[in-house]
Amino acid sequence: MNPDTISPPLDNYYLFKSCTAGSVYPGIELSVKYILDIIEADYADDPRQSSCAGLGVYTGTVPIETAMALNARNFSLAAETENHNITCICPMSYNNLKHCQKLLSKEKKLEKQFKGMLKNMGKKYDINSEVSHISDVFLARRSKIVEKAVYSLSGVKAVTHHGCHYSKFFFKDVTSGNFENPTVIDTILKEFKCEVLDYSEKFLCCGGGLHRSVIDREYPRGILRRKIASIAEAMPDVIVTQCPGCTFNLEYYQESLIEELGMSLRIPVLYISELLALLLGAEPEDIGIDMHAVPVEPFLEKFGIGDGKK
């Protein structure tokens, strides 16, 4: 997929926050806003936004109709603002919102019901906002980000992981690469002179599993084992993701696999906005880097990120 043929809006973002990021990695949201401020983007940070209910839907505990009603409200909130282009931190939100938007446009009976519900709340039903992922925004505006950068990734070897809910559902909307090999993060990192390593299980899920994890914990653990083993063989300095949930799985469960896989060191895992914010000069403590289970500080020290040297 040619990144020039598909592009997210270049401004006026409605920042759609993530439940997982907010509860486990608050620095992800902080770093996203740090970057948007640095590149002088217009965006709305709406405290009225609710969860998209994606986790409940994909674990089989929340009916899709409930998520449709909830997200009809979220879409309508975005439409009320000048910054109405929904920009998701979480691929699950990205997928769930796009899915609900598609269903709402077809289910006329539910649409009529939800219009009435929103009217009773004093809201106008409007589901027409465009939905993008924040990594697509960073890709589209990478020149501006590089221009403002204080540090580079020269000498750094990284592997990337793109969330399944980003590339495997609305696969025609992948903005760089394709659904089998998305290269959104790769393209961004290369702008900073990073060496992006290939590995055999790049396409494989992080082992999150969702509904499968509820009914069979060993199967997704086997997927995670394969994923981490493949990454360890590549010997990267850092793993870079675009999904808070994937970040959690690839980081928190490394400890249980180190001895089994014969890994000599734990590999730090950073969400793309955390790494970009650091390259733009953010202080690690200001964007919650200390919240990571695998310490990030040795990686930053090794490559002089934060030492005042460009």
Same-domain pairing of 172 and 283: yes
Q: Residue 8 in contact with residue 136, Cβ under 8 Å?
A: yes
Residue 1 pLDDT > 60, yes or no?
Answer: no
Same-domain pairing of 95 and 180: no
| Domain-located, residue 174 | yes
| Domain-located, residue 5 | no
Per-residue model confidence (pLDDT) at position 4: 46
Same-domain pairing of 164 and 221: yes
| Domain-located, residue 233 | yes
Domain that holds residue 31: 11-130
Average pLDDT, the chain: 92
Of residues 4 and 18, the one with the higher pLDDT is: 18
Percent of the chain residues past pLDDT 90, beyond the cut: 83
Same-domain pairing of 282 and 221: yes
Same-domain pairing of 173 and 293: yes
Mean pLDDT of 217-224: 83
CA atoms of 190 and 197, how far apart (whole Å)? 11
Same-domain pairing of 289 and 154: yes
For 12-61, what is each residue's pLDDT tens digit?
999 999 999 999 999 999 999 999 999 999 999 999 999 999 999 998 89
| Domain-located, residue 135 | no
Mean pLDDT of 155-168: 96
pLDDT band at 307 (very low <50, low <70, confident <90, very high): low
- CATH code at 239? 3.40.50.11810
Per-residue model confidence (pLDDT) at position 156: 98
Mean pLDDT of 245-249: 94
Got the DSSP string for the chain?
--TTTS---SS-EEEE--HHHHHH-HHHHHHHHHHHHHTT--EE--TT-----HHHHHTTSS-HHHHHHHHHHHHHHHHHSS--EEEESSHHHHHHHHHHHHHHHH-HHHHHHHHHHHHHTT--------EEEHHHHHHHTHHHHHHH-S---TT-EEEEE--HHHHSSSGGG-SSB-SSSB-HHHHHHHHTT-EEPP-TTTTS--S--THHHHH-SHHHHHHHHHHHHHHHHH--SEEEES-HHHHHHHHHTTTTTHHHHT-SSPPPEEEHHHHHHHHTT--GGGGTGGG-SS--HHHHHHTTTTSS--
pLDDT band at 310 (very low <50, low <70, confident <90, very high): very low
Residue 263 pLDDT > 90, yes or no?
Answer: no
| Domain-located, residue 274 | yes
Same-domain pairing of 48 and 126: yes
Same-domain pairing of 295 and 228: yes
Per-residue model confidence (pLDDT) at position 2: 44
Per-residue model confidence (pLDDT) at position 259: 80
The total number of structural domains that make up the chain = 2
For 83-140, what is each residue's pLDDT tens digit?
999 999 999 999 999 999 999 999 989 999 999 999 999 999 999 999 999 999 999 9
For 128-150, what is each residue's pLDDT tens digit?
999 999 999 999 999 999 999 99
- CATH code at 31? 1.20.1050.140
Same-domain pairing of 125 and 195: no
